[in-house]
Structure 1
Amino acid sequence: MEQQQLKRCPIGVQTFEKVIEGNYLYIDKTEYIYRMAHGASNYYFLSRPRRFGKSLLVSTLHSYFAGKKELFKGLAIEKLENEWTEYPVLHFDMSRAKHVDKETLESMLGFQLSGYEQIYGKSEEAVKLNDRMTSLIMRACEQTGRQVVVLIDEYDAPLLDVMHEETDLPVLRNVMRNFYSPLKSCDPYLRFVFLTGITKFSQLSIFSELNNISNVSMLKPYAAICGITQEEMLEQMHEYIERLAVSQEMTKEETQRKLKEKYDGYHFTWPSPDIYNPFSLLNAFEDGELNAYWFGSGTPTYLIEMLRKFHTLPSQLGGSMQAMVASFDAPTERMTNIVPLLYQSGYVTIKDYDKYTGLYTLDIPNGEIRVGLMQSLLPNYLAYNTDMGLTTIGRMYGAIRLGDMDAALRLLQEFLSTVPYCDNTNYEGHYQQLFYIIFSLFGMYVDVEVRTPKGRVDVVMRTADTLYVIELKLGKDADAAMSQINLKNYPGRFALSGLPVVKVGVNFSAETHNIEKWVVEE
């Protein structure tokens, strides 16, 4: 199928009017717009990861409340809405205020206010940001005769990069709190208020006074308000799948499976439809490639800093994470673990829920995020020789695909001999985590500390046709590692897997911090 026959994918296009008038592909989310606009609340908050369609959603709300009926022709809301009232809309984009100090933040907020003050006028007495916001809302309402709509996209953007800093966070938070404070006092003048962000509002203590806001982030009726569901992809994007299949020289069924493995797996409540990362999916369709688009667009520095702060091990990012619903709203200053931030940032997602215990089970959503996360953590285990390490890992993957674990370990030994010592290499857990990262980058199943009737296996890794049981020792002996595997009958734990089990005993030298010896038995 020729590319010009399909609508362009809106890569980087976040304005609804431009998407419609430019004849870009649009996945219809207007039913959610109508639902919120006519809901019980006039104040809404939505948390979703970056590049998940929040800005386009806010822009769609802007066009709707501005009464631009002609843009919604053929969409779901056209059949639902009868009035199409035009309201004054104040639309603030906080993504412009990243990496700023107090003075710059105040200046940028003032600049956004001044654009609307040129339309509705400015009170001479209103000097502070909160007074200017209050005056602006009241003037817009009085001049138009209609209540005001306030849309704030990425409300927490100025604060995310200082989340781990004890000095700058309170200062910037106070600026933002003052800026947002009129949203409660101006309630009689407001028709609708909508805020988006990554962290939940209670985490930054901004909305302590705004207690009438409806947080729809984990509500089932809004589970698919952002992102692309499996159903939407198959019904509205099947031609794009066919074109990608041709580009990748795969069948349509194989292409769908690859897309699911790489970009699907998000759930923002439970039960929930499967939701694909829209940024990665659209880029894959546009480029004809299956690359790491979302992760490659930038790993936030605040996330890596918080992972370090909470001493989060790579293996702890898997399916063993559990959290109560209240944990997702824990104030950032009092966070006791990294789980809520990982969830809100899109690096783990809901995979199950136990209604009896109230516990959510969380896991990495898909292959793109798993590989990206492990690559981000790899420098901590390879003394920042990451590029050379990734090349070695690629060669190791080739060896293991051929069933040659001996060659794979030899490659790792050769590479580690060229790497300066890392910190914290004097305990077995360091090497256990290194193996976990490497096997995760293979895209294969891997787990650590796997329970058996007689003990715990250090590392278990499964390929398409083989299961590897690996025991690691530091400053001891590879034969001792193999003896432990046999003595405790670790392979028996995996007899029902239906795969042949290969036993691997590895010893790391406490002096050289490298593999000293290994034993492989089938």
Structure 2
Amino acid sequence: MKKKLPVGIDDFKNIREENYYYVDKSLFIKEIIDDGAQVILLPRPRRFGKTLNLSMLKYYFENNEEDYSYLFKNLKIKQTAEEYLAKQGKFPVINLTFKDIKENSWPQAEIKLKRMVAREFKRHKYLLESDVLDQYDKEFFQKILSLKAENAFYEESLKDLSDYLAAYHQEKVIILIDEYDQPIQAAYYNNYYDKMINFMRNFLSAGLKNNLALEKGILTGILRVAKESIFSGLNNPVVSTLLDNEYSKYFGLLENEIKELFNYYALDFQFEDLKNWYNGYYFGENIIYNPWSIINCLRREGEIEPYWANTSSNDIIKDLIINSESEVKKDLEILLKGDTINKKIDENIIFSEIDKKVNIIWSFLLLSGYLTFVEKERREMYLYCDLKIPNKEIRYIFENIITQWFEENLSSQKLNILLKSLSCFCAWAFT
């Protein structure tokens, strides 16, 4: 029986147990172990495998009552040296995801943040039965669970939980944080940015900076948010973006992986069509295919559609383009013709400057997957990239935004003409 396609499945255990097809990215574990950095930030575009990779790390490293080594049977990580295999099931793990925190107001976001923390405390509720926690710690633990702790305690909760786990397991903690920048984007576009930044700065700094209980911290997101805002108290993360070679082959799909997929499902396909629609992303030295679109294309037996484009409203991109200066619109016209533009890229995004500085717009479009780079070079202290639209799917998004804008404005103009005509008629009729 053929393996199922993991459309929307990002839990590693589920994929391995329920006969889903898995593209073996398990050497990602080895690269994480080899990396000398204690805290690693890995920004990548949405739906390029960030959550699944963190899930894999969790099941590999976590010291759990259940032995999860069977999940890695026949994977590449099992063929590595003993030093890597010895780390399997060794560490306590804190696993947090911010991907669903995208509320319209700070009170709503604050509640979700507290619930997220409480769920992870509940996952480690066995600590309450141990002698590691004194009475004060147990009362604090219970307040976190019941959502009754003061806000400052939630900001310190990542550090506190890692201390408890390290003391109980007699081993340092691995902290996994997925989509750390999702609540920050939501906060910016819903006008509670300062409150969210203050929480995230304190929360991450407490847990990831100078934490003696920390073995490694791995964060994923779409953007590298500027140090002046969220990382002002956290100066130790090593950042590997899609511009870097490190980790470049573990997010998205390589060409040989695509061919293996289509051959496995015995689908006839025009490889050039796949390349034109879903290829073209440069991650470091690798050319990458969009995994979401490829999997959905397979599910539809090779039917070409803009699958990734339809997973988001693209409102942010639309606002940036529509409200941009004429210079940006001229550059977009060049891109739509299939040419490249050379732009200064700032890898640290400051949200308050997204719609104020032109180079921030191009940086945002590049790092979030709406553009790709062809060449890059450093001139003195600055990075410059030749940018282009990676494929037909992304071209569809830009063309759709422009078409919608044209139709909306045309409708508005017609309405204004109608109202003016009606006004003139009323003035004439009643004189």
**Class of the TM-score when normalised by the shorter of the 2 chains:** 0.7 to 0.9
Unaligned runs of 5+ in 2: 129-136, 141-148, 416-431
Pair member with larger Rg: 1
1:111–1:40 distance in 2 versus 1, CA, 3 Å = same
Query: Which of 21, 26, 46 is the matching residue for 2:22?
Result: 26
Query: Which of 89, 96, 112 is the matching residue for 2:93?
Result: 89
1:164–1:323 distance in 2 versus 1, CA, 3 Å = farther
- Residue type of the alignment partner of 2:352: E
> Is the partner of 2:347 in helix, strand or coil?
helix
> Is the partner of 1:220 in helix, strand or coil?
coil
Using the size of structure 1 for normalisation, the TM-score is: 0.67
1:216–1:56 distance in 2 versus 1, CA, 3 Å = same
Partner of 2:278: 263
After TM superposition, give the deviation of residue 8 of structure 1 in Å.
1.3
1:384–1:297 distance in 2 versus 1, CA, 3 Å = farther
Partner of 2:321: 307
Provide the rounded CA distance (Å) in 2 between the counterparts of 1:131 and 1:208.
16
Provide the rounded CA distance (Å) in 2 between the counterparts of 1:306 and 1:173.
22
Provide the rounded CA distance (Å) in 2 between the counterparts of 1:47 and 1:321.
23
Q: Is the 8 A contact 1:317 1:348 kept in 2?
A: no
Q: Please give the per-residue CA displacement for 1:437-477, whole angstroms capped at 9, x wherever unaligned.
A: xxxxxxxxxxxxxxxxxxxxxxxxxxxxxxxxxxxxxxxxx
After TM superposition, give the deviation of residue 111 of structure 1 in Å.
1.5
After TM superposition, give the deviation of residue 330 of structure 1 in Å.
4.2
1:55–1:222 distance in 2 versus 1, CA, 3 Å = same
1:56–1:26 distance in 2 versus 1, CA, 3 Å = same
After TM superposition, give the deviation of residue 202 of structure 1 in Å.
1.9
After TM superposition, give the deviation of residue 164 of structure 1 in Å.
4.8
After TM superposition, give the deviation of residue 188 of structure 1 in Å.
1.0
Partner of 1:346: 369
- Residue type of the alignment partner of 2:27: E
Provide the rounded CA distance (Å) in 2 between the counterparts of 1:298 and 1:273.
25
Provide the rounded CA distance (Å) in 2 between the counterparts of 1:294 and 1:54.
15
Unaligned runs of 5+ in 1: 246-251, 386-418, 424-522
Provide the rounded CA distance (Å) in 2 between the counterparts of 1:345 and 1:208.
23
After TM superposition, give the deviation of residue 76 of structure 1 in Å.
0.9
After TM superposition, give the deviation of residue 264 of structure 1 in Å.
0.5
Structure 1 range deviating more: 136-145 or 185-194: 185-194
Q: Is the 8 A contact 1:266 1:365 kept in 2?
A: yes
Provide the rounded CA distance (Å) in 1 between the counterparts of 2:14 and 2:409.
43
Q: Is the 8 A contact 1:48 1:54 kept in 2?
A: yes
Q: Is the 8 A contact 1:137 1:186 kept in 2?
A: no
Partner of 1:321: 341
Q: Please give the per-residue CA displacement for 1:5-54, whole angstroms capped at 9, x wherever unaligned.
A: 43111001000000111111111111122111232112111111111111
1:73–1:140 distance in 2 versus 1, CA, 3 Å = same
- Residue type of the alignment partner of 2:199: V
Query: Which of 287, 294, 302 is the matching residue for 1:274?
Result: 287
Partner of 2:79: 79
Q: Please give the per-residue CA displacement for 1:230-263, whole angstroms capped at 9, x wherever unaligned.
A: 12212344233x42x2xxxxxx4xx111111110
Partner of 1:213: 237
Identity among equivalent positions (%) equals 26
> Is the partner of 1:27 in helix, strand or coil?
coil
Query: Which of 278, 281, 285 is the matching residue for 2:298?
Result: 285
> Is the partner of 1:155 in helix, strand or coil?
coil
Partner of 2:352: 333
Query: Which of 175, 188, 204 is the matching residue for 2:199?
Result: 175
- Residue type of the alignment partner of 2:300: D
- Residue type of the alignment partner of 1:331: I
Provide the rounded CA distance (Å) in 2 between the counterparts of 1:220 and 1:59.
22
Measured on the aligned residues, the alpha-carbon RMSD in Å equals 2.4
- Residue type of the alignment partner of 2:7: I
Matched, 1:161 2:186: yes
1:82–1:264 distance in 2 versus 1, CA, 3 Å = same
Q: Using CA pairs below 8 Å that are at least 6 residues apart, which structure has the higher relative contact order?
A: 2
1:103–1:31 distance in 2 versus 1, CA, 3 Å = same
After TM superposition, give the deviation of residue 420 of structure 1 in Å.
5.5
Using the size of structure 2 for normalisation, the TM-score is: 0.80
Q: Between Structure 1 and Structure 2, how many residues are aligned? A: 372
